[in-house]
Amino acid sequence: MGDEQTYTITELAREFDITPRAIRFYEDQGLLTPARSGRARVYTKADRTRLKLTLRGKRLGLSLAEIRELLDMYGGVRNSASQLERFLNVLATRRAAMEQQRLDIEAVLLEIDMLEQQCHALLGHNAEGAAAARAELARRIDQADVD
């Protein structure tokens, strides 16, 4: 390794605010391959970069298999066309999933709003208000089924 900067598991754990156990898990998953000096793990700048990209991928919601595939495509070549195209496909898939989650969350929040209105109306002994809230909820559910 010569003069190349190296890191200990403790240094990386502290820098990225994760546990050494998480780093060892990423090793077990084939995402990191540190050298050994006796029993101690020795991480290179490339290992640090792979860990940083792994954590970024996790933040994006990518699976460890997807992260490993993207990292393995890297192979020392920066920004190869095949790597970038695959990454764009992964991002598009993730974006579609997140957009669907957002729609699902918005639908649930609307339902919660209607149920709260209905409960407040019933607590206020406002049968007419409760019926209106119930009808609005039914309308929105029917509309969501059509969409």
How many CB atoms are located within 10 Å of the residue 47 CB? Answer: 22
In the chain, how long is the greatest CA-to-CA distance? Answer: 80
Q: Provide the mean pLDDT of the chain.
A: 87
User: Where are the domains positioned within the chain?
Assistant: 6-77, 102-145
Q: What is the percent of the chain where pLDDT is above 70?
A: 94
pLDDT digits (tens, 9 = 90+) for 56-75: 999 999 999 989 988 887 76
Q: Which amino acid is at 53?
A: L
3-state secondary structure the chain: CCCCCEECHHHHHHHHCCCHHHHHHHHHCCCCCCEEECCEEEEEHHHHHHHHHHHHHHHCCCCHHHHHHHHHHHCCCCCCHHHHHHHHHHHHHHHHHHHHHHHHHHHHHHHHHHHHHHHHHHHCCCHHHHHHHHHHHHHHHHHHHHC
pLDDT band at 77 (very low <50, low <70, confident <90, very high): low
pLDDT at 1 over 60: no
pLDDT digits (tens, 9 = 90+) for 9-62: 999 999 999 999 999 999 999 999 999 999 999 999 999 999 999 999 999 999
Which contacts (CB < 8 Å, 24+ apart) does range 110-117 have?
110/140, 111/137, 111/140, 111/141, 114/140
pLDDT band at 79 (very low <50, low <70, confident <90, very high): low
More confident residue, 132 or 43: 43
Domain 6-77 matching CATH 3.90.700.10: the answer reads: no
pTM over 0.75: no
Position 55 scores a pLDDT of: 97
